């Protein structure tokens, strides 16, 4: 059964972005393109322009957990942003 993780990601500097692509250019794809684990990923700019919401879909919860475990060593690369989990189900 599919598993979906939704996260809000905000730029810590207070910078604003014109669109999701500008945020991605500054901070990277935030997992939306990791098709080794993710079956579909989207990134949408928030109303304030200060960050994005990512929605990552997985085949199942085990694949989601494997993605998080594989990325744990890379969390220090995400300096400058704050992640807030919206949902994971």
DSSP string of 35-51, one letter each residue: TTTEEEEEEEE-TTSSE
Each residue of 1-50: pLDDT tens digit?
899 999 999 999 999 999 999 999 999 899 899 899 999 999 999 999 99
Residues of the chain by 3-state class (helix, strand, coil), percent to 5 = 30, 35, 35
User: What pTM, to 2 d.p., does this model score?
Assistant: 0.90
What pLDDT sits at residue 42? Answer: 97
């Amino acid at each position: 059964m599919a598993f979906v993780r939704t996260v809000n990601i905000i730029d810590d500097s207070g910078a604003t972005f014109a669109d999701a692509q500008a945020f991605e250019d500054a901070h990277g794809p935030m997992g939306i393109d990791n098709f080794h684990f993710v079956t579909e990923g989207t990134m949408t700019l928030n109303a304030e322009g200060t960050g994005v919401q990512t929605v990552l879909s997985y085949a199942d919860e085990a694949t989601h957990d494997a993605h998080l475990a594989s990325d744990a060593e890379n969390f220090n690369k995400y300096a400058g942003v704050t992640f807030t989990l919206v949902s994971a189900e």
